[in-house]
A and B are shown apart, each in its own frame.
Chain A
Amino acid sequence: MVKKTQNDSPATAWYVASFESFAKSLNGESASFAHDLRKSAIAEFEKLGFPTTRDEEWKYTDVSPIAKLKFTPVVSHKVNGVTAKDIEPFTLDNLSCHRVVFVNGHFSKELSQIGSLPAGVRICSLAEAVRNNDEQVKKHLARHVEAGANAFIALGTAFLYDGLYMAVPKNIVLDLPVHLVFLSSGLETEFAVFPRNLIVVDDNSQCAIIESHVSLKNNVYFTNAIAEVVLGSNAIVEYDKLQLESERAFHISNLSVSQDRSSSFTSNAISLGGSLVRNNVLVVLGGEGAEATLNGLYLGTGKQHIDNHTTIDHARPHCPSHELYKGILSGKSKGVFNGKIKVRQEAQKTDAKQTNKNLILSDEASVDTKPQLEIFANDVKCTHGATIGQLDEEAIFYLRSRGVGIENARDMLIYAFASDVIDRIKVEPLRELLHEMIHDRLEKGRQGS
């Protein structure tokens, strides 16, 4: 059977060939359980090929710029001269977090600072955990994403090697957040990195994770990130993501979350960088009373394209979900929001609320927003709303009438719009860092205009 895809395209062939040399470089590690996952994933990728805009899920996001470039997967660890000073602007205070740094997708022991941890808690490199044949990793890795779901999950799984492995056993509250810094140092060739995170938080435990993607140079590269987060019953996890890739970078991410009974998961996804960005979030509410909160903020300038696709799968009864995504788009930037809420037949008493608000600051900026409800239960509450608008002229006049200058008035309103999401982040130093970043961004925008 011939399926009409790009499977025989040069792009697919390039990654299949790259996979072969990657597999060779693994030497003895190619006998591990992880390699079986890789092999079936590359076969899956070969079958799927990169999606096109004819594919409903990718209608508004054309990934052909990624397919056209030959990105070389970074298969070995190179610190590439990166020092602690280089990462300082992107990091939180040492005392306020455990810092785990990855340079071009690979764990850097030198740059990481992991403080003392409660007994049984593991925070380490995924590559190391795979080498040690960790039972938990075996049990969960690639079990919460489906390689066949999309080409990028398949590709990311084919090249899976390093990232964070974190395990929190039962009844532990981690006081400090774990800050993951994925840094692109800028290599000569156009390169691809495949960060892979696996986080397993057992019953009654609590932690916060921050995933940052940052870049030292303004060059072209491709980040294809996958994270799997597993919550036991009553577990509480905050997962904050700060995407600050280079202006010329491509960033595709897939976050998959599996929640057990009465657990609570919150994600705050902030997208500031990248030229072409697509974030997929999938949350499966797989236990009664589990609660999910997905917040997002995307700021587009220039020709940036930022796409957020979320899916909340209400699989069990009595699960509330809350979603708030806000976009601020200027220049010729484009935003996409697609929020799917799936309520299965047995998921009675579902309470799902979804809101997407967009602020369009220029004539050439645009946004496509789409709620998607698939409801198979009858006793549920699902609300959704989307707005696309400009700054409120009434509010600007009000501020000006009190002496505030017009530029300052506009900035105040934009800042307030963004703060609505930022203030939902519970990790205080991250909140402060973001307030500063938004402030700087507005100032820079003003100088640029």
Chain B
Amino acid sequence: MLQIINLHASVNDREILRGINLTINKGEVHAIMGPNGSGKSTLAQVLAGRESYTVTDGQVMYNGKDLLDMDPEERAREGVFMAFQYPVEIPGITNTYFLKAGLNAIRKHRGLEELDAIEFLKLVKDRAKIVEMDETLLSRPVNHGFSGGEKKRNEIFQMSILEPSLAILDETDSGLDIDALRTVSNGINKLRNNENAVLLVTHYQRLLNYIVPDFVHVLVDGRIVKSGAKELALQLEEQGYDWVRDEQPAVGA
């Protein structure tokens, strides 16, 4: 589904990603872990198409297409979704209004009928249950005045509506208390299937107790220095990142 080949990216002439190689197949869950400033969030943002990052080298293929060539909205329509680490507050636009516009743009792109207001409302009510989202938040302006936990929940709620093939979750666990973490993780697990894939970007192992990854990758200084099975996450939790930092890039370089 996704092949990242020797990806280099910089912001303001500072190189942050320095040769990322990663392949994700349908049905897989990958976790990217790493210390602060290692480039985890940058990778997520570059995949989602944020324009403040410049890709200086490398390639990203998504379902056989050049992902880097697509506008952010095109990526979304092709099935890429990023749950933001810091969801943006947008006063004046209601959650459901913008989400309906997004969903219908995606459906149109895929040659599906657009949903009318009633069909959409039904879908919304159904999916709000999955993430146990307070329905009053749906008609409020996007993330405006939401608590940290409500914002994260809203991201997963949006994901449940848009049904992406590739979900990139950028530190979705940060700032969540244990109950919220459990509901959000449950929501994500319910949305998993053999046809989609999840890329979890996280600082802590905690989330991986709930969403069990098939692969764990350690990102240090813009490179994946180690990859392994889910046990790697536990080892990182116990020993910290210093021991992997000393290891030389395992792949790619």
- Report the separation of the CA atoms of residues A395 and B98 in the bound assembly, to the nearest whole angstrom: 11
Which of A400, A406, A409, A419 is the one whose CB lies under 8 Å from B92? A419
B90 contacts chain A at the CB level, 8 A cutoff: yes
Query: Contact: B101 with A401, CB < 8 Å?
Result: no
A6 contacts chain B at the CB level, 8 A cutoff: no
Query: Contact: B87 with A398, CB < 8 Å?
Result: yes
CB distance from B153 to the nearest CB of A (A): 16
Interface code B100-126, partner A: CB below 8 Å = 1, 0 otherwise? 011101100100000000000000000
CB distance from A411 to the nearest CB of B (A): 10
Q: Which of A395, A403, A420 is most buried by chain B, counting CB atoms within 10 A of its CB?
A: A403
On whether A406 and B73 interact (CB within 8 A), knowing A413-B93, A417-B92, the answer reads yes
A404 contacts chain B at the CB level, 8 A cutoff: yes
- Report the separation of the CA atoms of residues A417 and B90 in the bound assembly, to the nearest whole angstrom: 10
Query: Contact: A395 with B90, CB < 8 Å?
Result: yes
Query: Contact: A406 with B51, CB < 8 Å?
Result: no
A405 contacts chain B at the CB level, 8 A cutoff: yes
A444 contacts chain B at the CB level, 8 A cutoff: no
- Report the separation of the CA atoms of residues A419 and B94 in the bound assembly, to the nearest whole angstrom: 12
CB distance from B252 to the nearest CB of A (A): 27
Query: Contact: B105 with A403, CB < 8 Å?
Result: yes
A26 contacts chain B at the CB level, 8 A cutoff: no
- Report the separation of the CA atoms of residues A402 and B158 in the bound assembly, to the nearest whole angstrom: 8
- Report the separation of the CA atoms of residues A399 and B158 in the bound assembly, to the nearest whole angstrom: 11
A43 contacts chain B at the CB level, 8 A cutoff: no
Query: Contact: A398 with B73, CB < 8 Å?
Result: no
Query: Contact: A408 with B101, CB < 8 Å?
Result: yes
- Report the separation of the CA atoms of residues A419 and B73 in the bound assembly, to the nearest whole angstrom: 25
Grouping DSSP codes into helix (H, G, I), strand (E, B) and loop, the A interface class, with mixed when no group exceeds half, is: helix
Query: Contact: A397 with B72, CB < 8 Å?
Result: yes
Contacts of A417 in B (CB 8 A): 92
Contacts of B99 in A (CB 8 A): 402
Query: Contact: A412 with B73, CB < 8 Å?
Result: no
Contacts of B98 in A (CB 8 A): 399, 402, 404, 412
CB distance from A264 to the nearest CB of B (A): 25
On whether A403 and B71 interact (CB within 8 A), knowing A398-B87, A416-B92, the answer reads no
On whether A420 and B92 interact (CB within 8 A), knowing A400-B71, A403-B106, A403-B162, the answer reads yes
CB proximity to A under 8 Å, residues B44-102: 48-51, 71-73, 75-77, 81-82, 84, 87-88, 90-93, 98-99, 101-102
Interface, chain A (partner B; CB < 8 A): 392, 394-395, 397-406, 408-409, 412-413, 415-417, 419-420
Q: Could you name 15 residue pairs across A and B whose Cβ atoms are closer than 8 Å?
A: A392-B90, A399-B93, A400-B71, A400-B76, A401-B48, A401-B82, A402-B76, A402-B81, A403-B106, A404-B73, A405-B73, A406-B73, A412-B93, A413-B93, A420-B92
Q: Given A392-B88, A403-B103, 19 more contacts at CB 8 Å?
A: A395-B90, A397-B51, A398-B142, A399-B90, A399-B102, A400-B49, A401-B48, A401-B72, A402-B158, A403-B77, A403-B106, A404-B73, A404-B98, A404-B102, A405-B105, A412-B93, A412-B101, A413-B90, A420-B91
